[in-house]
């Protein structure tokens, strides 16, 4: 093995040649790769080495010697430091190209000949998130809200979260001020002491309804009732919950929810359909881009009104219900019981009678249906980042749907799965959608036809 002539804390001048899938600048030192924070292709930077591994290392920019024309400098470095907006220093059109390139690269690694269309961008790439999970910690003797510095649990105080709905930011700040007023403590991770751990807020983009979940260590906090009454008095809050999480854990929510005031859910709209959202419901966080994503999925499904459609990993039924009026029947599969209940309610709210939702793991349900020789015309999959299980792919081969619409949040696992599926299916194009502007993440819609 070649000796690496680099040490931690060493300062070095680097030429940046590429951008990694995580949005870090890529430099080579005698063939050894360094991934550099706050560095863009074409730049020369003076950096400090922060980590040296066997195959690659990391560095942090100290000074930009030669600047890229694609660099944006009118931003607060807190947004990069906390990981809220790690690509904010890159011009937005270049962010879209970067995300398209992610799909291209991962398909090429799998020897897949698939055309990747330009990324569908956002008209407003800021203030888009409809959900916030904000930690509360005690700093300088008072409860403080903000976001953790990347790869640490050091809280950076923030008033403006940049990519969140401004109404959510305002509510977070108002609750923070109430915590200070009532002298309620923030959480201490090292000792597992304190009162309030997190503030979780959802706001429906099209209706304006807002849900607040206050995550506490106990219901016996002094002045908790006064705090809750003050939050509920805000006319913007449609639904208020308390969630108790007493465990020493990084998991944000505990298992116990208590509705304190208002409705048990909020309601939003997608493509003209109404959707009920409960505290634990999965719901896309960018409402404007979600409509574009789902419209692309509907177009890829290419329905004529007589198809049997399966919506796998369906959540609260948003995709299946959005296309139900173009299909003969839609069946949604979801492993979370509360989401299935919401999906059933959402079908009723919209007067949709040709959609049903069942609780179960997608892998198990489709395996059972394969054994029963069930007919499926169109399969829609929207899996978690880990992609499709190999057993699920075998079930797909047995069920033989005419088309698969694969909605992906991870280009690497998408490419891996498409490479496996191509034994019986052909994908000709994939369309990336920027659901998370200013971040490295990209969603995509890929249509596969049975050979």
314 given a catalytic annotation: no
Compute how many other C-beta atoms are within 10 angstroms of the C-beta atom of residue 56.
Answer: 14
The answer for residues whose C-beta is within 8 angstroms of residue 62's C-beta and 6 or more apart is: 11, 45, 46, 47, 48
Supply 357's token pair.
């939702």
Helices (H) and strands (E) in the chain, counts: 10, 23
Q: What is the pLDDT along the chain (451 residues), one digit of tens a residue?
A: 456 789 999 999 999 999 999 899 999 999 999 999 999 999 999 999 999 999 999 999 999 999 999 999 888 889 988 989 999 999 999 999 999 999 999 999 999 999 999 999 999 999 999 999 999 999 999 999 999 998 788 999 999 999 999 999 999 999 999 999 999 999 999 999 999 999 999 999 999 999 999 999 999 999 999 999 999 999 999 999 999 999 999 999 999 899 999 999 999 999 999 999 999 888 999 999 999 999 999 999 999 999 999 999 999 999 999 999 999 999 999 999 989 999 999 999 999 999 999 999 999 999 999 999 999 999 999 999 999 999 999 999 999 999 999 999 999 999 999 999 999 999 999 999 999 999 999 999 999 999 9
- The CATH 2.40.50.140 portion of the chain extends over 11-71
CATH number for domain 97-123+286-450, candidates 3.20.20.30, 3.40.50.150, 3.40.50.720, 2.60.260.20: 3.40.50.150
Task: Output the pLDDT for position 150.
Answer: 83
* Domain at 131-269: CATH code: 2.40.50.1070
Judged by phi (left if over 0) then psi (alpha if -120 to 50, else beta), residue 225 lies in: alpha
Q: Could you tell me where in the chain the CATH 3.40.50.150 domains are found? A: 97-123+286-450
**Number of C-beta neighbours around residue 312 at 10 A:** 24
Distance CA 404, CA 225 (A): 51
Token pair 């194009």 in the structure block, residue: 429
The pLDDT score that the predictor gives to residue 260 is: 97
Q: pLDDT, tens digit, for every residue of 329-369?
A: 999 999 999 899 999 999 999 999 999 999 999 999 999 99
| DSSP per-residue letters across 323-361 | HGGGSSEEEEEES-HHHHHHHHHHHHHTT--SEEEEES-
Q: Mean pLDDT for the chain?
A: 96
Among residues 91, 104, 409, 412, the one annotated as catalytic is: 409
Sign of CA pseudo-dihedral 51, 56, 58, 61: positive
* Class (C level, CATH) for 11-71: mainly beta
Torsion of the alpha carbons at 203, 432, 117 and 362, rounded to the nearest 10 = -120
């Amino acid at each position: 093995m070649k000796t690496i002539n680099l040490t931690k804390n060493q300062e070095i001048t680097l030429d940046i040649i590429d951008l990694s899938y995580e949005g870090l600048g890529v430099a080579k030192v005698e063939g050894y790769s360094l991934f550099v924070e706050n560095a863009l292709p074409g730049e020369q930077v003076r950096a400090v080495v922060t980590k040296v591994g066997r195959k690659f290392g990391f560095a942090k920019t100290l000074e930009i010697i030669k600047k890229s024309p694609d660099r944006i400098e009118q931003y607060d470095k807190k947004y990069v430091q906390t990981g809220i907006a790690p690509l904010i220093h890159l011009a937005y059109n270049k962010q879209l190209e970067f995300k398209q390139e992610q799909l291209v690269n991962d398909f090429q690694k799998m020897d897949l000949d698939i055309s990747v269309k330009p990324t569908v961008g956002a008209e407003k790439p800021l203030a888009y998130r409809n959900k916030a999970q904000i930690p509360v910690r005690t700093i300088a003797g008072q409860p403080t809200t903000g976001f953790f510095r990347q790869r640490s649990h050091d809280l950076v105080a923030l008033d403006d979260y940049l990519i969140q709905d401004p109404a959510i930011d305002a509510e977070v700040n108002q609750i923070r001020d109430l915590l200070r007023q009532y002298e309620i403590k923030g959480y201490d991770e090292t000792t597992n002491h304190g009162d309030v751990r997190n503030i979780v807020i959802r706001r429906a983009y099209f209706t304006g309804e807002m849900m607040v979940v206050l995550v506490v260590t106990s219901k016996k906090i002094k002045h908790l009732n006064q705090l809750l009454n003050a939050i509920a008095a805000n006319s913007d809050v449609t639904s208020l919950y308390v969630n108790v999480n007493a465990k020493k854990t990084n998991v944000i929510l505990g298992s116990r929810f208590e509705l304190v005031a208002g409705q048990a859910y909020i309601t939003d709209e997608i493509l003209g359909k109404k959707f009920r959202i409960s505290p634990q419901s999965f719901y896309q966080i960018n409402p404007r881009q979600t409509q574009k994503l789902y419209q692309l999925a509907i177009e890829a499904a290419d329905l004529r009104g007589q198809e049997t459609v399966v919506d796998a990993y369906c959540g609260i039924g948003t995709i299946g219900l959005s296309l139900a009026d173009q299909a003969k029947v839609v069946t949604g599969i979801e492993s979370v019981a509360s989401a299935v209940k919401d999906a059933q309610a959402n079908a009723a709210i919209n007067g949709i009678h040709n959609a049903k939702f069942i609780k179960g793991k997608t892998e198990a349900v489709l395996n059972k249906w394969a054994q029963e020789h069930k007919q499926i015309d169109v399969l829609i999959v929207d899996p978690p980042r880990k992609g499709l299980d190999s057993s699920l792919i075998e079930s797909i081969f047995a069920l033989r749907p005419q088309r698969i619409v694969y909605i992906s949040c991870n280009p690497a696992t998408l490419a891996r799965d498409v490479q496996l599926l191509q034994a019986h299916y052909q994908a000709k194009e994939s369309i990336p959608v920027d659901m998370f502007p200013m971040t490295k993440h990209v969603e995509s819609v890929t249509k596969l036809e049975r050979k």
